[in-house]
Structure 1
Amino acid sequence: MTLEGAFADFTRRDWERDPPDDTVRLAVVGTGGFARNRALPAIADGNHCETTALVTESPDRVRSLAAQFDVNHVVDYDGFLAGNHTAVYDAVYVATPNATHGEYAVAAAEHGKHVICEKPLDASLERAREVVDACEDAGVTLMTAYRLQVEPTVRRTRELVRDGVVSDVVQIHGGFSHPLLEDADPDAWQLDPDLAGGGALIDPLNTVRYVLDDDPAGVYASTHSSGPPFDAVDEHVAFQLEFENGATAACTASFDAHASSRLELIGSDGMIRIKSPFGGVVPQEMVVESGDVRMEYTGPPVDEVREEFDYFGYCVLTGTDPEPDVEDGLADLRAIEAAYESAETACRVDLE
């Protein structure tokens, strides 16, 4: 890929060939803020999935939500686990708190349903492996919901790195901060370590691994919390990923700071900078320098959540293995657990 050609047909769905006419019927498990405000609208706006069931703690409380999105079936969690209404959906989207992902993903697999699960697959690597095993045993598709992996700016960045447009990547700088309490109360599940399994570091970590198409050899991390309500989870985190080829990624993340997001890759002969990759809606703005050539791209925002569900539906309908595969989800959890071990011991932790 030449630098001049990098921005041609920028928002192309390079993964989509011969789009299927059918749709995947989804049961959305969990009706919290993200499911209500982002996932359900994205599914409705997309081409390859449709919501046919909602799974929630209190069905009566979501009747208006079901009516808004023309969903005819609402079931409680116990009913879902028991297999009620399995005839009305082909796959499930798990959007419950992190530590409960495994329970519902495993149940879906046992019902013979495909699974798209919010990141991470579960709060622990051990439980995530149970999800992977259940889906493999059932022969169903499992995809971790890494929406940035189907977002055009991040996909184009990976292509540029792969094609050597900036030569060898030497350094990556990433940052993500979000004032969590503006959108959640002090009792939010993200502040409960038993439910969350960790804090704010997940998004930058996976994106770095994805654009480099490589796994880190070691990680060093430190965390800080100023007190309630962040006394049980990391309020702020800084971590460094070290790769076998000598590249390093220095990243920060916070659940209690002004909203900000950035990603910059420095190569031996160039640079790629993405504006706001982790903020929820990537504005499609990037700068690329290659040798003496500098180019900027600005385009209309693309809803990466819609892209994610269309990609999942496409994979199920065509029998395609998702790029965010089972090993991708496990690799993230290995790195996450190593980062927290490093923060606790103040030592670098090697990754196999």
Structure 2
Amino acid sequence: MHAATASSNARITGLVTGHPTEKGAKFGALYNVPKNSIYTYETFDRLKDNPAVDAVYIALPNSMHCEFTIRAAEAGKHVLCEKPMAISSAECRRMIEACRHANVKLMIGYRTHYDATFRKLRELVRSGAFGEIQSYHGGFYGMRNKQQWRLDRSLAGGGSLLDLGIYPLNTVRWFTGEEPESYRGLVATRDKSGAYASVEQSIDWMVKFPSGVLASGGSSYGQSGTNFLAINGTIGHLRLEPAFVYGDVILKYTGTSGDADLSGTGPVYDPDQFVSEATHFADCVLHNRQPSTPGEEGLADLLAIEAIYAAAGNPIA
């Protein structure tokens, strides 16, 4: 919510919570939201009668994205939905169609698309600074125990791939501007506690793009690890590490282009990527523009994720 309050063109005018007398009252007072603009999940549809609310930000468990995106669209509200967009490509298509039918914007919260470091690196790739790109390698490995619903397939839709692995997957799709044509996948769950009974703990995947570019990635829960992105071209290379975390972290990259040293850090003057994301979404709503990360972007990721799971033998089916 800090992103909306810190942006130049958005503010919080309504809240939805399962605890209206506790959390609703607390955050309503914090953001100056009147009581009649605090809703529950049961009264959510009454948003249609509130002209002070133009759009809805959906950051619920993955399995609820589809339902509440469609309900928001039917209430005439634009939608910013967190990634992963949904738990299946079929749900993604339903969300896209509902927003199209209601003539509202649908944007997926791929925050790295609004980060200056990632935009700079993508421009370097597209400029030919590394020559012809041969391969990408990315990974997001780490512990995520604060949100236990992520280990429940009925809520999360999958394991570390949907939560963490989607970052390197989406990045290589974005950088190449292509969609994979072939897939490989391997899954392993070494934890014997039963915590990962319905979702995968670790997954590694490889895809091939029509241009011939290869990309590999991986993600894992329940271990110490890092997150990185490596780019390899015919005349240069680059590695960004850390790559996909946020907060009080400066992204650092090392690399070369021919004889030139391209090493550097993310610009400390760049606005918070969440603020940039919120500002972009509000701008699209205010000026009737297409979001940089529309529903179709989320759909493409889910299609790739489903293909990776299939290549791994549908480990969570």
Say whether the fold is shared (TM-score over 0.5): yes
Deviates more, 1:218-227 or 1:107-116: 218-227
Partner of 2:280: 311
Tell me the CA shift for residue 286 of structure 1. Answer: 2.1
1:112 aligned residue (70, 76, 98):
76
Report if aligned partners of 1:153, 1:286 keep a CA contact under 8 Å in 2: no
Amino acid at match of 1:55: V
What CA distance in whole angstroms lies between the structure 1 residues aligned with 2:240 and 2:271? 14
Report if aligned partners of 1:219, 1:239 keep a CA contact under 8 Å in 2: yes
2:246 aligned residue (268, 277, 280):
280
Report if aligned partners of 2:236, 2:255 keep a CA contact under 8 Å in 1: yes
Q: Secondary structure at the match of 2:4?
A: helix
Provide, for residues 265-318 of structure 1, a one-character-per-residue CA deviation record: whole Å limited to 9, x for no partner.
001111122222211245232234111111222231642111111111111112
RMSD of the alignment, in Å?
1.7
Q: How many residues align?
A: 303
Q: Please list, as runs of the form range in 1=range in 2, the aligned pairs for 1:171-186 lying within 5 A after superposition.
A: 171-181=135-145, 183-184=146-147
Q: Secondary structure at the match of 1:262?
A: strand
Report if aligned partners of 2:178, 2:210 keep a CA contact under 8 Å in 1: no
User: Structure 1, unaligned stretches of length 5 or more?
Assistant: 1-39, 347-352
What CA distance in whole angstroms lies between the structure 1 residues aligned with 2:15 and 2:225? 31
Is 1:67 the counterpart of 2:33 in the alignment?
A: no
Q: Please list, as runs of the form range in 1=range in 2, the aligned pairs for 1:213-228 lying within 5 A after superposition.
A: 213-225=177-189, 226-227=191-192, 228=194
Partner of 1:33: none
Is 1:155 the counterpart of 2:137 in the alignment?
A: no
- Cα gap change, 1:344/1:257 in structure 2, threshold over 3 Å: closer, same or farther? same
Partner of 1:333: 302
Tell me the CA shift for residue 345 of structure 1. Answer: 5.9
User: Structure 2, unaligned stretches of length 5 or more?
Assistant: none
Amino acid at match of 2:27: L
Report if aligned partners of 1:260, 1:279 keep a CA contact under 8 Å in 2: no
Deviates more, 1:251-260 or 1:144-153: 251-260
1:49 aligned residue (10, 26, 35):
10
Tell me the CA shift for residue 178 of structure 1. Answer: 2.3
Tell me the CA shift for residue 81 of structure 1. Answer: 2.7
What CA distance in whole angstroms lies between the structure 1 residues aligned with 2:28 and 2:254? 42
2:204 aligned residue (232, 238, 246):
238
What CA distance in whole angstroms lies between the structure 2 residues aligned with 1:46 and 1:288? 33
What CA distance in whole angstroms lies between the structure 2 residues aligned with 1:203 and 1:70? 34
Is 1:194 the counterpart of 2:147 in the alignment?
A: no
When normalised by structure 1's length, the TM-score is 0.82
Q: Secondary structure at the match of 2:296?
A: helix
What CA distance in whole angstroms lies between the structure 2 residues aligned with 1:61 and 1:320? 37
What CA distance in whole angstroms lies between the structure 1 residues aligned with 2:152 and 2:22? 24
Is 1:144 the counterpart of 2:87 in the alignment?
A: no
What CA distance in whole angstroms lies between the structure 2 residues aligned with 1:172 and 1:295? 17
Is 1:289 the counterpart of 2:248 in the alignment?
A: no
Amino acid at match of 1:179: M
Tell me the CA shift for residue 84 of structure 1. Answer: 6.1
Q: Secondary structure at the match of 1:78?
A: coil
Q: Secondary structure at the match of 1:60?
A: helix
Partner of 1:5: none
Q: Give the share of equivalent positions with the same residue, in percent.
A: 34
Is 1:263 the counterpart of 2:232 in the alignment?
A: no
Tell me the CA shift for residue 259 of structure 1. Answer: 4.6
Q: Secondary structure at the match of 2:185?
A: strand
Report if aligned partners of 1:75, 1:84 keep a CA contact under 8 Å in 2: no
Tell me the CA shift for residue 250 of structure 1. Answer: 1.2
Q: Secondary structure at the match of 1:344?
A: coil
Q: Secondary structure at the match of 1:49?
A: coil
Amino acid at match of 2:21: D
Tell me the CA shift for residue 336 of structure 1. Answer: 0.7
